[in-house]
Structure 1
């Protein structure tokens, strides 16, 4: 389970990712359409039109040099359609906003930690970041999960660079593997950590 939000200046932009169930990650409808939560109907409609055009599976197959699976392109297209369906209607948007706020109230963190506080393990599949919980288990996130949330994770020799989405400081709420505690992992715009120092 992961939850992320960004804090540009003093205004808080909540919810690019919200929890929908144990160990699942889902982008908010606002994030899918690349709009703020206070966006007007016109802003949402404009973003929807752009997103639906850019995510259409037929367009992606014709223009993409990178091998994009049919499942991924169809999934993205369906997410855009669903986001528009919810956010274009005043009533469904109001219900969705209430659910989004309620999910955030459950995200109280026991402690705030920085990326530098995390232990790093370099596996063949991904980089894994750990922080020990007081119960003895760990809070963890890997580079694959961070990538799904919009972070860019780069590795150069013994250094790791993590770039945040939208070039603003971000945080990720991580649950403990065993107990109910959560921590908030703060990631600066261009955080760097050394693998050797954290093993």
Structure 2
């Protein structure tokens, strides 16, 4: 789903004047009176985006919500490590790393390949990024 900024074709840090100018350009192009073969949904998307982004309070609320959504969709990477940074358990052939929550990041030696990998903590939502250093 497009953000309101994407609908208007602007960056998130666009000024009010930039947003307004872009809105006016798009309204001229997509207004239902100007184009009868276009879907009215396009115009409504543009109008809705402008109505939210033109008001400083609504824009701040929208930006906060957008930031929250984007952060919740991205994993929280606690650290980027080399395989040699992890503790190797000789008896099980597993690697582990202690998380700040007290939980453990664990990965079996056979899961470690030639590509980088991501390992979830067993106790929280954090992730570590293990850079491949071809050590097995």
- Please give the range of the TM-score, normalised by the shorter of the 2 chains: 0.5 to 0.7
Q: Tell me the TM-score normalised to structure 2 length.
A: 0.53
Task: State the match for 2:30 in structure 1.
Answer: 55
Query: In the aligned structure 2, how far is the partner of 1:109 from the partner of 1:94?
Result: 24
Task: State the match for 1:81 in structure 2.
Answer: 47
Which segments of 5 or more consecutive residues in structure 1 lack a partner in the other structure?
1-25, 62-67, 111-199
Which segments of 5 or more consecutive residues in structure 2 lack a partner in the other structure?
77-136
Query: In the aligned structure 1, how far is the partner of 2:42 from the partner of 2:51?
Result: 14
TM-fit CA distance, 1:108: 2.1
Bigger radius of gyration: 2
Hey, which of these two has a bigger chunk of strand by percent? 1
Indicate which of 101, 104, 107 corresponds to 2:67: 101
Task: State the match for 1:91 in structure 2.
Answer: 57
Ranges of 4+ aligned residues in structure 1 off by more than 3 Å: none
Higher relative contact order (CA 8 A, sep 6+): 1
Task: State the match for 2:16 in structure 1.
Answer: 41
Matches within 5 A, 1:16-27: 26-27=1-2
* Equivalent position SS for 1:60: coil
Hey, which of these two has a bigger chunk of helix by percent? 2
TM-fit CA distance, 1:54: 0.9
* Equivalent position SS for 2:34: helix
Query: In the aligned structure 2, how far is the partner of 1:45 from the partner of 1:27?
Result: 18
* Equivalent position SS for 2:35: helix
Query: In the aligned structure 2, how far is the partner of 1:74 from the partner of 1:29?
Result: 17
Query: In the aligned structure 1, how far is the partner of 2:74 from the partner of 2:11?
Result: 22
Q: CA RMSD in A?
A: 1.6
TM-fit CA distance, 1:87: 0.3
